[in-house]
Amino acid sequence: MASSDKEISYSDLKALLAKGSGLVVDVRSKDEVDRGRIPGSIHIPVENVESDISLDASEFHSKFGVVKPSLDSSELVFHCQMGKRGDVATEKARGLGFKKARNYAGGYKEWSDKGGK
């Protein structure tokens, strides 16, 4: 279990992905994402989170090919390599009204170390 309502654990993230729900946003650089990613995640660099998450639903879908989460969605998860940028992105999203957005603090490093696929 994660340490707060702002974080999601590895096992909880795997369960979320297994049921085919949720939106996982990778906020790392393009070079980092090109070296590996959590399956099903979309890429929004941390510096673009505010502008991209503020797009209207049709623009968001057009740009990312997925449905934009609702403001009350508890299935919006940000992550980076080890947690810091994911936390920044989570705070930005919460500031825009996505009050249940969470950070996968273990990041891609934990995901790959544990063999997540």
Which of the residues are catalytic? 80
Residue 52 phi/psi, 5-degree rounding, is -75, -40
Output b/e per residue, 26-62; b: 16+ Cβ within 10 A: bbbbeebbeeebbeebbbbbbeebeebbeeeeeebee
Cβ pair 17, 24 in contact under 8 A: yes
